[in-house]
Amino acid sequence: MAQNEVIKREHIMLGLSAADKEECLRAIAQKAVELGLCTDAQAAYEGFMFRESQGATGLEDGFAIPHTRCDAVVKSGVIFAKTQKPVEWESMDDQPVEVMLALIVPKDGSNEHIRLLAALSRMLIKKDFREALKGSSSEEEIFELLSGVMNEK
């Protein structure tokens, strides 16, 4: 396993049942604790909500990049979540979101935060990449798509 592996197969959440953005972020925060990326789901959730209050993390075409930086985060990671049905989320195109690529970063990890955000932004510019992520229901396929971009060799 690479030292800087920020996404693993177990970081992928498919078929997330959530009524709204808050439920999505709570589920992702809980998953971060289960994965050992974070010690406190409530603190991670509050970090996500604080970031959302600074400006929407919804992009276009049903994607969002929520992120949290808090003291409870012990290890950087990316959690991929795909909802059963789109949820309301402030976004650049005013459309709901169904795919979230959540950044979980320690409070002191500012360079890591920027590196991960840049890597995600670069790949989400590509329409074929977005379509592949949205169209896939396979954890393995999603992991292969993301790991090549996110995990340092």
Buried b (16+ CB within 10 A) or exposed e, 56-92: bbbbebbbbbbbbbbebbeebbbbbbbbeeebebebe
Residues linked to residue 106 through DSSP beta bridges, in sequence order:
70
3-state DSSP call for residue 20?
coil
3-state DSSP call for residue 123?
helix
Decide: 66 and 100 in contact? Cβ < 8 Å: yes
CA 9 to chain centre: 13
3-state DSSP call for residue 128?
helix
pTM summary value: 0.92
Written as tens digits, the pLDDT of the chain (153 aa) is: 344 688 899 999 999 999 999 999 999 999 999 999 999 999 999 999 999 999 989 999 999 999 999 899 999 899 999 999 999 999 999 999 999 999 999 988 667 777 878 888 888 999 999 999 999 989 999 999 998 777 654
